[in-house]
Structure 1
């Protein structure tokens, strides 16, 4: 008979291998520059970017919710394509790098941003600490 301990539990977290280094299957180093960024930097950079967009929207568009969204998409597309990092990511010293495929960064930024707006891909992560929107776009967020 199958016992509960054989199946595991969602409270145990994601399955992991002892000694596995996050990002190693992507060719990223274990630590230092170019390593997978710590989790806390990702949502904090997102909050900084969203706050910047809301501030600009409040000053220029009287806080229109659609303007907030359009500004957020524009900031992500422009900054990721040109610099590899949004303003919030610059502040927190992380950047988005392509890790697979050969598509141009503007396409990667568009796919990543659209999927991030759907929210669900942003909360589903793999063992390399990549959310689904980064997996689909072929990118990884790394430290500088």
Structure 2
């Protein structure tokens, strides 16, 4: 193997190197029995990030509306509490937050049913901790979703 091939495999990453060796990864969600595209397929990372930004904006707006007239710095802390409350209630009742509804995504159990209230609570706590949400597998399921056996799908 010449140096250019070694550098090329390093630049393209381990997945590309494994694919060159004949390993098939399939599409996101294939291992879970989900379709490749359309409704029921795994929601893209872009949709999920935009949904998160919408939820955070709305939570911040609510916190500022309720608390900003007293203490602006305190409102920033309350935005996280509002975000957690909206996430937990939304996931437990309809399987989505306002941002997820706007972006046409939903959180469901791997078997296709709605999350239990306890699952919604655990998932929300893990999202608030941030790290479990940014570590994900090849199906782009974060540790917070894996912990409660959930997946975010397109609607």
TM-score normalised by the chain length of structure 2: 0.79
SS in 1 for 2:54: helix
**Structure 2: gaps of 5 or more residues:** 1-5
Which structure's relative contact order is higher, taking Cα pairs within 8 Å and 6+ residues apart? 1
In angstroms, what is the RMSD of aligned CA positions? Answer: 2.5
| Bigger mean CA deviation after superposition, 29-38 or 15-24 | 15-24
1:18 offset after TM fit, Å? Answer: 3.2
Q: Deviations over 1:10-46 (max 9, x none)?
A: 8615566436021111121111110001110111100
Moved over 3 A (4+): 8-11, 13-19
Counterpart residue number, 2:136? 125
TM-score normalised by the chain length of structure 1: 0.85
Structure 2 distance, partners of 1:120, 1:9, is 26
Equivalent pairs, count: 139
**Structure 1: gaps of 5 or more residues:** none
Which structure shows the higher helix fraction? 2
Contact kept? 2:38, 2:154, Cα under 8 Å: yes
